[in-house]
Amino acid sequence: MSARKSAELLPEGIARSNRKRLAAEQGMRALADVERAGHRGPQEHGAVLKKVREAKEAADEALRTALPPRR
């Protein structure tokens, strides 16, 4: 057990634990930011994309009917 404790007190061990701690803090902050921003789930995102696609298709069709036929 003493070998493990001395390894944790080495500069590499301290640096490793600091990196892990910082990564965990950044992850928690990122999750909080996403929740605060009102992140949409994949189903809501898909529904929005579907509405956009349908609107584009309707606009394309309206443009096709408004233009004279191609020869």
- Residues 35-66 pLDDT 10s: 787 766 777 888 889 999 999 999 999 988 88
From the DSSP assignment, how many helices (H) and strands (E) are in the chain? 3, 0
- Residue 3 CA to residue 13 CA, distance in Å, equals 12
What are 3-33's pLDDT values in tens digits?
Answer: 556 555 788 888 899 999 999 999 999 988 8
Q: What is the distance between the alpha carbons of residues 54 and 51, in angstroms, rounded to a whole number?
A: 5
- Placement of tokens 């696609």 in the chain: 53
**pTM of the predicted structure, to 2 decimals:** 0.43
Q: What is the rounded CA–CA span in Å between residue 64 and residue 71?
A: 14
